[in-house]
Structure formats: structure tokens, C-alpha cells
Amino acid sequence: KTLIFLGPPGAGKGTQAQRLVAEKGFVQISTGDILREAVKNQTELGKKAKEYMDAGKLVPDDIIIGIIKEKLQELEGKDIILDGFPRTIPQAEALDKMLPQVGRTLDGVILFDVPDEEVIKRLSGRRVDPKTGKVYHIIYNPPPEGVEVIQRDDDREEVIKKRLEVYHSQTAPLIEYYRKQNKLLVIDATKSPDEVYKQLLSVVK
């Protein structure tokens, strides 16, 4: 299977992807995670990406498309979730070209539907375990005792606002793009993580 998780920052894409990975054997390809890892390791990619990410802007399409191409080749035959990719029309068009080349067809694009006010609450309370990458929330899903968590660099208020702006202007057009392809599946992502997961399972199978 080949799934895309589409939705605003903080919609719960990563949270639900981690669960599908744990319970259904999917592999998650999160362009955000790949970029953060590169920044941490100060690779060439990381050096290029950091300033865009810290500003809440998108990293240039050619860089991102290159990353995905490599991953698709590496993961041939596996069930995958594209988490946070594509994010622009040119990325989606590039993906449409790449998929048949690696023997895949797109099964569905899951739109995590959630309003901006909720996004702001979720992102300002998000914490991450840097050792495992597991995602928590100080109120909705507090980390277990003894687990040391950190806050993402881009989860500051000004950057959150910019990311939302970028989502509405550059990524939201993909909703129509995939609706026209008959691939769009909308889920109500304002519900609890368990309820969102249930909706996800019902549209994924």
C-alpha cells in the first residue's frame, strides 16, 4: 500500500503514522523527521534545510523530491505512509511521475481535518522524546515518568503561525488536486487519538 497523510501542522499525522507502523507494519516516510535528523547531524542537507525550517517555510522542492526518490527505491515492496509529503503542487506532480517507476499506485490521500485554533493548542504543548522520536503532548498525552522530552525548534508561537500560513497557501491546494484524482479521504482529526485511529483503519483497508 501507498498512503499520503495530508493536513496542517499538528493535525496528528505523525502520531497516527507511528501507530500504523507499530500495529500494521507500515513504514513511515516523514520528510520532516528526515530533515530534522539531517540538521542534528549537520550534514550538507541539514545545513541547507535549517534556515527554512526555523522560519516555518518549506524547503525547496528539488531537495525534497530527491529525498523521496531515494526512499522509494530503498523501500520497494513495503507498505508506506508518506507523512508530510507532498506539500506543494510540483511535489505532487513529481510523485505522480515517480510512483509508476517504482511499481506503485497511490491507494489514498488521508486528509486530517482540523481547525487552526486546535493546531495551535497541539503544537504549543507538543514534546518529543529525542531518543525514540515518540511524540507526546503535555496535556493530551503526557510522557511517562522518567522519559526526558524536548520541544521542537519550530514549535514557537511565531513559527507556528508562519507554518499555518504556508500550509493554507502552498499545501491546501493539494486537497483539490487529489479530490480530482478521486483519491481524497477526509477524516475528522479533532477527535481523540483512538477515535482518529479508528476512522483511519476504516478508510485504509
CA 51, 67, 13, 169 dihedral sign is: positive
Footprint on this chain of Zn ion (rule: CB under 5 A): 14
Shortest separation between residue 61's beta carbon and Zn ion, angstroms: 19
CA 96 to chain CA centroid, nearest Å: 18
Burial class (CB in 10 A: 0-12, 13-18, 19+), 186: middle
Residues numbered 117-176 forming contacts with ligand AP5, rule: CB under 6 A: 122, 125-126, 135-137, 140-141, 154, 163
By the rule CB under 6 A, 183 interacts with ligand AP5: no
What is the SS3 assignment for 172? coil
Q: In the complex, which residue's CB is closest to Zn ion?
A: 14
Rounded to whole angstroms, how far apart are CA atoms 41 and 1?
31
Residue closer to ligand AP5 by CB (options 1, 152) is 152
Residue 33 vs 107, nearer CB to ligand AP5: 33
Query: Does a cis peptide bond (omega within 30 degrees of 0) precede residue 130?
Result: no
111 lies in the site for ligand AP5, by CB under 6 A: no
| Cis status, amide bond into 60, omega within 30 of 0 | no
C-beta nearest to ligand AP5: residue? 32
Residue 163 annotated in active site: yes
Cell of 143: 510522557
Residue of 4, 39, 45, 59 interacting with ligand AP5 (CB under 6 A): 59
SS3 168: helix
Q: Which residues bind ligand AP5 (CB under 6 A)?
A: 7, 9-15, 31-32, 35, 52-53, 56-59, 64, 84-85, 87, 91, 122, 125-126, 135-137, 140-141, 154, 163, 192-193, 196
Catalytic residue numbers, as ranges: 13, 87, 126, 152, 163
